[in-house]
Amino acid sequence: MPEELALRRTRPLTGQFLDDALETEFQAEHFDLAIKRFTRFSIGLSSVVFLAYGVHDVYLLPELAHRAWAIRYGVFAPVAAAVLALTFSRNYARLHAVAMFVFGMTINLVVTWIGAVSPPRGFYIYTGYSILFVTLGPFIARMNVVTQVVYTLCSIVLFCAFAAEVSHPPLAVAVSIAATLGAMGGIGALVARQLEAQAREMFRQRRTIRRQLDELDAERAKSEALLLNVLPASVAQRLKADGRSIADGFAEVTVLFADIVGFTSLAQRLSPVEVVRRLNELFSTFDDLAEELKIEKIKTIGDAYMAAAGLEGTGEGHAEAMAEMALGMLDRVATFSAAYSEPLSIRIGLNTGPAVAGVIGKKKFIYDIWGDTVNTASRMESHGTPGRVHVTEETRRRLADAYVFEERGEVDVKGKGPMRTFYLVGRRTRAS
């Protein structure tokens, strides 16, 4: 993966990512997670401790305490206050490295200066403090490796300047202390490099986890979409929750059965692939219409199509929605037939009444609907006429105010006996 490769490509000395965008993202995230609050706390605490060491000046250098205090409080205190205040500013992220360098150099300036003006016992003690502070840069100030190296070199230069101009220690002592500063600063640089390497590895892991979570969410969304193509949303949620069979009773729904007339002869003339392609094209328009009207497609069997309205439990408008579905299907079949110059038509049957819907079994779930209402709707389709919508008296009664019907009379329906049925003609207008 390109992103994984970019996360592994770094500069040898500093460990920075070669990809500028990744480096910018890391610096911002690392600053928020590991630097901002920590340095605010560590600088505040170390400043208090460093200023409290004024008591140490009195016991160690009673004859020079006033001078040591002037350096400690006069130089360090205002710089520490300014740096601490900067940690609360909006520009702190951009100025962090500079602020930590100034803070560290101010500490070393104070202890080196006090050591330079002290007698030999004070010189060695305060110089030792300078060596300690050079090592602590990565811990107290969260200095990166570059800042740590510059801090160490500047501390060596500062010591050499005071040694040459003020304290005048023996050459061997000066060289030894300068070398020790360099060695301990080098250890600090290695520590800084390791700490940042760990931070970058954690950054890689966080990005990997976020990417995997995004991929998991995408796959979950695909699975959800696939499940919702098979089952209604409410049923899918319940099935995922307990995995048991689901059956809901509905006091009134409207069921549609439709069958393409003339498709058998079409299938005999075309290849199986072309037959499926055309059937998919036509049924997809039915699916779009069902989704628009909030009707639940139940299933297709060959060139037959089954749908139901009212399964959401609203109890209102399901008959009207199904009437619109049936009329829309007639229009779509006519358009399809004209586009391919094929003599196709559709036979549609509707019925309204109580039913049970749900999911049963353990494998290959399908949402289905059962009951006499369903059987009668199927009979309306099979006993109907191509190009017309055949409905029962129950359905006509619910639609009579808004739609026009043509009475067919009594039809001897298989399994039901004589039934008074109607053809749905269209929407009612003032003229009609």
Backbone φ and ψ for 28, nearest 5 degrees, come out as -65, -45
Domain ranges across the chain: 2-213, 233-427
Beta bridge mates, 406: 423
For the residues 331-354, what does the mean pLDDT come to? Answer: 92
Nearest to 232 by CA among 306, 308, 304: 308
pLDDT band, residue 112 (cuts 50/70/90): very high
Residue 271 above 60 pLDDT?
yes
Task: Map residue 4 onto helix, strand or coil.
Answer: helix
Mean pLDDT of 139-152: 91
Which range in 149-163, 183-197, 405-419 is most confidently predicted, on average pLDDT?
149-163
What is the pLDDT at residue 416?
87
Residue 123 identity: F
Per DSSP, the residues of 27-91 read HHHHIIIIIHHHHHHHHHHHHHHHHHTHHHHHHH-GGGHHHHHHHIIIIIHHHHHHHHHHTTSTT
Contact 284, 292 (CB under 8 A): no
pLDDT of residue 4: 67
DSSP string, 56-69: HHHHH-GGGHHHHH
pLDDT for 385 equals 94
Averaged pLDDT score across all residues of the chain: 88
Are 14 and 145 within 8 A, CB to CB?
Answer: yes
Contact 392, 400 (CB under 8 A): no
Report pLDDT for 431.
59
Q: Which helix (H) or strand (E) holds 371?
A: none
Residue 327 in this model has a pLDDT that exceeds 90: yes
Per residue, what are the HEC states of 363-404? CCCCCEEECHHHHHHHHHHHCCCCCCEEEEHHHHHHHCCCEE
Among 9-13, 74-78, 120-124, 301-305, the least confident range? 9-13
> Does the pLDDT value for residue 98 go beyond 90?
yes
Mean pLDDT check: name the lowest of 17-26, 33-42, 85-94, 102-111: 17-26
* Interatomic CA distance for residues 134 and 46, integer angstroms: 14
What mean pLDDT is predicted for residues 293-303? Answer: 90
Any idea which residue has 């950054």 for tokens?
Answer: 203
Nearest to 73 by CA among 110, 124, 104: 110
Task: Give the separation between CA 150 and CA 100, rounded to whole angstroms.
Answer: 11
pLDDT for 430: 61
The pLDDT, as a whole number, for residue 86 is 92
Examine the pLDDT at 314 and tell me if it is beyond 60: no
Q: What is the pLDDT of residues 365-396, one digit of tens each?
A: 777 889 999 999 999 999 999 999 999 999 99
Q: How confident is the model at residue 121 (pLDDT cuts 50, 70, 90)?
A: confident
> Of 384, 294, 372, 318, whose CA–CA distance to 348 is shortest?
384
Query: Residue 287: pLDDT band by 50, 70, 90 thresholds?
Result: very high
Pairing of strands 345-359, 368-370: antiparallel
Instruction: Give the mean model confidence (pLDDT) for residues 242-258.
Output: 83
Architecture of domain 233-427: 2-Layer Sandwich (3.30)
Instruction: Label residue 230 by pLDDT band (50, 70, 90).
Output: low
Kindly tell me if the per-residue pLDDT of 420 is higher than 80.
yes
Torsion of CA 208, 210, 216, 217, to 10 degrees: -160
Using the predicted structure, report yes or no on whether residue 1 has a pLDDT greater than 70. no
Percent of the chain predicted with pLDDT > 70: 92
Alpha-carbon 68 to chain mean position: 58
Q: Which residue has the higher pLDDT, 320 or 262?
A: 320
**pLDDT tens sequence across 235-248:** 667 666 676 667 78
Q: How far apart are CA 102 and CA 31, in angstroms?
A: 18
- Cα 248 from Cα 132, distance rounded (Å): 77
Which string of DSSP letters, residue by residue, matches 245-257? -EEEEEEEEEEEE
| CA-to-CA separations, 399 to 252, 321, 353, 424, in angstroms, rounded | 14, 10, 14, 9
Q: From CA 209, how far away is CA 271, in angstroms rounded?
A: 48
Predicted confidence at residue 3, as pLDDT, reads 67
